[in-house]
Amino acid sequence: MTRVDDVQAVVFGLDAEVFALSVEVVREILDHRPAFRMPHAPEWLAGLIDVRGDAIPVVDLNVRLGRAPTAVTPTTRILVVDAVAGERRLTLGLIVSRVLEVCAFTPDEIEAAPEIGGHWRSDYVGGVTRRGGAFVVHLDLARIFAGDADALNGDLRDAA
């Protein structure tokens, strides 16, 4: 049974690791599709896709987190999210390896992010949950995209 203070999250995989984003920031989940690659864009910016007439920048979340690019498979998805980059609110597509579930976490299940290093920067992590003997890392999109407002500006979408 879901309680009012539970955190509803979309749980997804990036390669073998499992991550979560609040359902409040996820607009929709799309099957993977090729993106129109923009010249001189950062490596993590895969390009643009059309979502019902809107040009949406697509980010390879693995690359943005400093990891190897996401291998496209039949389970690869694009999470369309509302993110904050600096002072701006942006709609972005995030390439992920697979979507696992939408579930609720109680606030006491979410632990603070450990300061130990690893494959991703700990300042991108909003918390960690233990689920089925493994960890689920709760990502903080505002921290991930805080310095990227210029790379994700409206001019990029207008170029399509």
Maximum separation of any 2 CA atoms in the chain, in Å: 49
Show the domains of the chain with their CATH numbers. 7-158 (2.40.50.180)
pLDDT of residue 121: 52
Residues 6+ apart with CB under 8 A from 23: 8, 9, 10, 102
pLDDT of residue 1: 57
* Cβ burial, residue 87 (10 Å; 0-12/13-18/19+): exposed
pLDDT of residue 156: 46
Tokens for 140? Answer: 């903080």
The rounded average pLDDT for each run of 10 residues, N- to C-terminus, in the chain (160 residues) is 78 94 95 93 94 95 93 97 81 96 87 63 76 87 76 50
pLDDT of residue 151: 62
